Copies of this chain bind each other. A is one copy, B any other.
Amino acid sequence: MSGTSLTEVAKAGGVSLATASRVLNPHNEHPVSDEVRARVLAAAASLNYSVNALARGLKVKRTRVFAAIVHDFRDPFFNTVARGVTNAAEAAGYLTVVCDSSRDPDKERRYVQLAQEQRVAGVLFVGGGLTSRSYREAMRQQIATLQSYGAHAIALEPRGSRMPAEIPDNRGGARRATDHLVELGHERIAFIDGPEQVLTSRERRRGYQDGLEAAGIALDERLVASGGFTEEGGRAALVRLLDAGVPFTAIFASNDAMAIGCMVELRARGLAIPHDMSLVGFDDIQTVRWFDPPLTTVRVPMEEIGAAGVARLLALLDADGGEPPGGRLVNVHPTELVVRASTAPPGRGKARS
Stretch at the interface among A26-34, A52-60, A170-178, A192-200: A52-60
Instruction: Choose among B58, B110, B116, B292 the residue that contacts A267 (Cβ–Cβ < 8 A).
Output: B292
Name A2's contact: one of B3, B73, B149, B287 (CB within 8 Å): B149
State the Cβ distance, A28 to closest chain B Cβ, in Å.
Answer: 17
Contact pattern, A 109-146, Cβ under 8 Å of B = 1, otherwise 0: 01101111111000000000000000000000000010
| B-facing residues in A81-110 (Cβ within 8 Å) | 82-83, 86-87, 90, 93, 95-100, 102, 107, 110
When chains A and B are docked, how far (Å) is the Cα of A267 from the Cα of B96?
Answer: 40
**Distance A113 CA – B117 CA, assembled complex (angstroms):** 22
* A83-B73, A292-B267 known; A110+B97 contact, CB < 8 A: no
A37 shortest CB reach to chain B, Å: 21
Cβ–Cβ contact B118 & A95, under 8 A: yes
Q: Mark A233-276, 1 if CB is under 8 A from B, else 0.
A: 00000000000000000000000000011011001000000000
| Contact B87 A83, beta carbon cutoff 8 Å | no
B87 touches A102 (CB 8 A): yes
B107 touches A99 (CB 8 A): no
Give, as a whole number of angstroms, the nearest-CB distance from A129 to chain B. 20
A150 at interface, CB cutoff 8 A: yes
Q: Say yes or no: A145-B48 contact (C-beta < 8 A), given A79-B74, A95-B115.
A: yes
- Shortest Cβ distance from A240 into chain B, in angstroms? 19
Tell me whether A51 is interfacial, beta carbon within 8 Å: yes
A149 closest partner in B (C-beta): B3
Which of the residues B53, B65, B74 comes within 8 Å of A286, measured between beta carbons? B74
CA distance A82 to B67 in the complex (A): 15
Interface assignment of A297: CB less than 8 Å from any CB of chain B: no
Contact with B along A42-84 (1 / 0, CB 8 A): 0000001011111101100101010100001110100110110
The answer to whether A231 has its CB under 8 Å from any CB of chain B is yes
**Chain B's nearest CB lies how many Å from the CB of A320?**
9
Q: Report the bound CA distance from A118 to B52 in whole Å.
A: 7
Inter-subunit contact B113/A53 (CB<8 Å) = no
Which residue of chain B lies nearest to A303 when distances are taken between CB atoms in the complex? B74
> CB distance B90 to A111 under 8 Å?
yes
Check if A260 sits within 8 Å of B149, measured CB to CB: no
The answer to whether A113 touches B50 (Cβ under 8 A) is yes
A111 contacts which chain B residues (CB < 8 A)?
Answer: 90, 95
CA distance A203 to B71 in the complex (A): 34
The residue in A51, A76, A145, A290 that gathers the most chain B C-beta atoms within 10 A of its C-beta is A290
User: Which residues of A does B touch, CB under 8 Å?
Assistant: 1-3, 48, 50-55, 57-58, 61, 63, 65, 67, 72-74, 76, 79-80, 82-83, 86-87, 90, 93, 95-100, 102, 107, 110-111, 113-119, 145, 148-150, 231, 260-261, 263-264, 267, 286-287, 290-292
